A and B are shown apart, each in its own frame.
Chain A
Amino acid sequence: DGGITQSPKYLFRKEGQNVTLSCEQNLNHDAMYWYRQDPGQGLRLIYYSQIVNDFQKGDIAEGYSVSREKKESFPLTVTSAQKNPTAFYLCASTESGGRNQPQHFGDGTRLSIL
């Protein structure tokens, strides 16, 4: 079955450490997104990519970085510059161009600070 796979499900970060969250999709979607979810805040956009080797900052990109070397993969790195990384992170994808196409979501990664 097609879908989005996020790993790991749980991740712990030490002070000063960079960590990478994986997101893989086999839906052949062009566009991919990273959202952060905090209690009472809804989902906020971190980065998105409409095509391979291209990506744009979202509303809260500071302290994060991404790459899009392959269509199916869009990893998110939480750098040591992100001072409050504890949150639930969701990856999503959609067919590019069709605004009414829904975004498909992965099951998420919960990141905590040790």
Chain B
Amino acid sequence: AQTVTQSQPEMSVQEAETVTLSCTYDTSESDYYLFWYKQPPSRQMILVIRQEAYKQQNATENRFSVNFQKAAKSFSLKISDSQLGDAAMYFCAYRRFRDALNFGKGTSLLVTP
């Protein structure tokens, strides 16, 4: 089974600064998809960004971007110009066979004024 590892249980960033959340995964497949989800205190799961493994170009969504290193099986999330509303749990996920997501254990992001 594929494993997704988020090595940072907690991270902190000051408002307006940039922070990078790490994610590595293990797979023998060549075609797959990766996602970052945000879970604020309301516990809703909100899609932040997604990346197709066959695309070399890193995905970008406004202040959120990824650094996808396929050979290294690394998929980090960069948040630029951090805002107080970015404070949440962030989960990295891998799309495996039959479309079920395989999640990491999450990184709790604290944003300080």
Chain A residues with CB under 8 Å of chain B are 31, 33, 35, 40-45, 48, 50, 56, 58-59, 88, 90, 92, 94, 96-97, 99-103, 105, 107-108
Q: Which residue of B lies closest to A47 (CB)?
A: B100
A residues less than 8 Å from B35 (CB atoms): 102
**Cβ-defined contact, A50 with B1, below 8 A:** no
Among A41, A96, A97, contact of B105 (Cβ-Cβ < 8 Å): A41
Inter-chain contact B91/A43, CB cutoff 8 Å? yes
| Count of residues in B whose CB is under 8 Å from the partner chain | 24
- Chain A residues contacting B99 (CB-CB under 8 Å) are 31, 48, 50, 94, 96-97, 99, 101
Give min CB distance, A45 to chain B, whole Å: 5
Checking B91, B95, B98 against A42 with a beta-carbon cut-off of 8 angstroms, the contacting residue is B91
- CB-CB nearest in chain A for B101: A103
Query: In whole Å, how far is B101's beta carbon from the nearest beta carbon of chain A?
Result: 6
- A-B contacts besides A42-B105, A44-B103, A50-B98, 19 pairs, CB < 8 Å: A33-B100, A40-B9, A40-B105, A42-B103, A42-B106, A43-B91, A43-B101, A45-B100, A45-B102, A92-B101, A94-B99, A99-B31, A99-B32, A100-B33, A100-B95, A102-B35, A103-B101, A105-B45, A107-B43
Q: Which residues of B contact A59 (CB under 8 A)?
A: 1
Find the B residue at minimum CB distance from A58: B100
Q: Smallest CB-CB separation from B48: which chain A residue?
A: A102
Chain A residues with CB below 8 A from B105, complex form: 40-42
Residue of B nearest to A94 (CB): B99
